[in-house]
Amino acid sequence: MGDPITDQLAQFISAKILKQPRRLIAGDEALITSGLVDSFSLVDLALYVEDNYGVHIDDTELNAESFDTLDQLTALIRHRQA
């Protein structure tokens, strides 16, 4: 079992963005630089994070420089929740 936030985010991406509910996404798998999550889906991901964790990810942060993996996104969420 990993971090519950990472697991929930992985589930959201595989079910809602990739539409492959059984697809497993590793915590260190590249999401943006690999093209797995496109710019449109990134906005959906930001809205999901905002709705579920009360953390705002700014429009200027939706890029690989801010986070490229689930582990990095989870760390960003936890940092802002603290």
Partner 1 sequence: MTLTHILVFALVSLVVGWAVPSRWRGWVLLGASLLAVYWLQPSTPIRYLDFWFPTASILLTVITWAATRTPQAQPSRRGMVGAALVVGLILVVALLRYAGPACCLTPSRPPDIWRVLGVFAMAALLVAIPIRFPVSKRFLVPAIIFLILGLFIMLKSPAISRWASEWLRVSGGQSALLAAASDLPWLGFSYLAFRLLHVLRDYQGGKLPAYDFGEFVTYAIFYPSYTAGPIDRSQRFIGDLRSATPGKISEALKPVNDPARQEQFVQGGTRILVGLFKKFVVADGLALIALNSQNAVQVTSTLWMWVLLYAYALRIYFDFAGYTDIALGLARWVGIRLPENFDRPYLKQNLTAFWNSWHMTLAQWFRAYFFNPFTRYLRSRRLNIPTWVIIFIGQLSTMLLIGLWHGITWNYAAWGAWHGVGLFMHNRWSDWTRSRLSGIVERPQLRKVMAFGGWLLTFNYIALGWVFFALPSLELALDVFKSLFGI
Question: What is the SS3 assignment for 58?
Answer: coil
Q: Which of 4, 24, 59, 79 touches partner 1 by CB under 8 A? A: 59
> Scanning residues 27 to 46, which ones bind partner 1 (CB under 8 A)?
32-33, 35, 38-40, 42-44, 46
| Cβ-contact 64, 32 below 8 angstroms | yes
Nearer to partner 1, 4 or 35 (CB): 35
Q: Which residues bind partner 1 (CB under 8 A)?
A: 18-20, 23, 32-33, 35, 38-40, 42-44, 46-47, 58-60, 62-63
